[in-house]
Amino acid sequence: MRSWSVPDVPSLAEQGFGKGPRATVFDSSSQSLQASDPAVQARLYVCGITPYDATHMGHAATYLAFDLLQRVWRDRGLDVLYTQNVTDVDDPLLERANATGIDWVELAERETQLFRDDMTALQVIPPDHYIGAVEAIDLVVDLVQRLEEAGAVYKVDDDLYFDVHSDPTFGSVSGFDAEKMAEVFPERGGDPDRPGKRHPLDCLVWQAERPGEPAWDTQLGRGRPGWHIECSSMAMHYLGNSIDVQGGGSDLIFPHHEMSASEAQVATGERFAKAYVHAGMVGFEGEKMSKSKGNLVLFSKLRAAGRDPMAIRLSLLAHHYRSDWEWFDTDISGGEKRLAAWREAVGRTAGPSGEKLVNDLREALADDLDAPRALEVMDNWATDDSTEDESAPETAAIAVNALLGVKL
């Protein structure tokens, strides 16, 4: 499906600042910082939305984290190939459509468009391939058939399940023990108690048609894809067998990322992602911000209330992507103050060294995308009244746009 418009990302190399440093990111599977420095092309897959409600601050923070990673990679001189899915047919979407009396296709299209508008306003670099599950049914069927050939898929009634034990490394993405897996699986869409399953954690890869629900005619019978295999099949098709980073919110680590990695690995025999990178959860009024709890702070509402998207972006970047944090309504005023101070500072006729600023911003972001530190670097530059460098204000505006995605 159509992606969204590409923001202007200036090149610091073209400004004479050379290439940025290599990035390190925190890999959940090894619980360690890892260098992410592909030779030429960096391949990124980030799990997309289920389009039944608008973008909240938790979503926005997640996509911003991977936007920073793309900016660091690009600044390093790498070509980035990025795929993101839209889970445009799934239980929560169909339930919402039923409950509100809106056609599920219409609901998905409307909310996907709102997400595109939000991402555009936030200056998030779009994926090269933005793919709906509905568009990827052939890819899913193909992967399920490969897994069937490998003996990793079995039938329960007319549904098809993936046997998690066919992957000897199952469990290595999340590092969860059996008890933790058993606790989390049913909370995040799993069906451990279904009779006929070989193992409670086995996951659905193909769901046969249910009365009143959409279904497609395929070689697997009439039905629709399971959630995890949607992502593994798209990543493999658009990015290749082994990718650099699989990203998403930390609530996707299990079962979603564990399952999609296992499915891909059983099919290819290769490790699915070099690093599994997870963004923290954003809370509001003492609880995780989520659709099911109904405590959402919506990006589109802040925009409609006249808040500058760049101030919203700064409010989000003030928190490290890996930390869990709570949104307070006062966060936005922090972002607005900072934006005003930075805009004023780049309007000066001279400032402290632009080269040092570029180096310090690059260093902060290359170190596990440390945006709060980068913001502090720019704050210090903006409040320093030295006039040693006449080109510094222009350099600062370019660097902040290139690396932090904030247009001053």
Residue 337, CB-side half-sphere exposure with 13 Å CA sphere: 8
Find where tokens 């050379």 sit. 18
Are the CB atoms for 242 and 28 separated by under 8 Å? no
Output DSSP code: residue 351.
B
Give the interface segment with Zn ion, choosing from 72-80, 225-233, 288-296, 389-397 (CB under 5 A): 225-233
Instruction: Answer yes or no: are the C-beta atoms of 46 and 66 closer than 8 Å.
Output: yes
Tokens of 113: 């468009």
Q: In terms of CB distance, is 121 or 136 closer to Zn ion?
A: 136
Q: Which burial class, exposed, middle or buried, applies to 8 when counting CB atoms under 10 A from its CB (0-12, 13-18, 19+)?
A: exposed
* 57, β-bridge pairs: none
Q: Which is nearer to Zn ion, 47 or 289 (CB)?
A: 47
Stretch that binds Zn ion, among 9-17, 41-49, 55-63, 166-174 (CB under 5 A): 41-49
Closest CA to 30 of 162, 172, 160: 172
The minimum distance between CB 310 and Zn ion, in angstroms, equals: 29
* Residue number with CB closer to Zn ion (47 or 93): 47
Radius of gyration, alpha carbons of the chain: 22
Smallest distance, Å, CB 330 to Zn ion?
33
Give Cα 321 to chain centroid, integer Å: 11
Query: Is 161 in contact with 154 (CB distance < 8 Å)?
Result: yes
| 231 binds Zn ion, rule: CB under 5 A | yes
From residue 117 to residue 156, the character string flagging contacts with Zn ion as x (rule: CB under 5 A) and all else as - is: ----------------------------------------
Pick the piece of the chain touching Zn ion (CB under 5 A) from 135-143, 228-236, 238-246, 295-303: 228-236
The interface region with Zn ion, picked from 36-44, 224-232, 361-369, 388-396 by CB under 5 A, is 224-232
Give the shortest CB-234-to-Zn ion separation in angstroms. 8
Element (H, E) at 203: strand 203-208
- How near is the Cβ of 16 to Zn ion at its closest, in Å? 40
Q: Shortest CA distance to 71 belongs to which of 119, 14, 10, 3?
A: 10
CA distance 229 to 227: 6
Binding residues for Zn ion, total number by CB under 5 A: 2
Of 55-63, 227-235, 278-286, 336-344, the window that binds Zn ion (rule: CB under 5 A) is 227-235
Q: Is residue 47 within the footprint of Zn ion (CB under 5 A)?
A: yes
DSSP-derived letter for residue 13 is: I
Question: Rule CB under 5 A: is residue 236 a binding residue for Zn ion?
Answer: no
Of the candidate spans 95-103, 230-238, 278-286, 391-399, the one that interacts with Zn ion by CB under 5 A turns out to be: 230-238
Query: Cβ of residue 46: shortest distance to Zn ion, in angstroms?
Result: 8
Give whichever of 231 and 282 is closer to Zn ion, judged by the CB atom. Answer: 231
For Zn ion, which is the closer residue by CB, 44 or 314?
44
Contact call for residue 64 and Zn ion (CB under 5 A)? no
Per the CB < 8 A criterion, the answer to whether 175 and 28 are in contact is yes
Please give the residue ranges that form the binding site for Zn ion (CB under 5 A). 47, 231
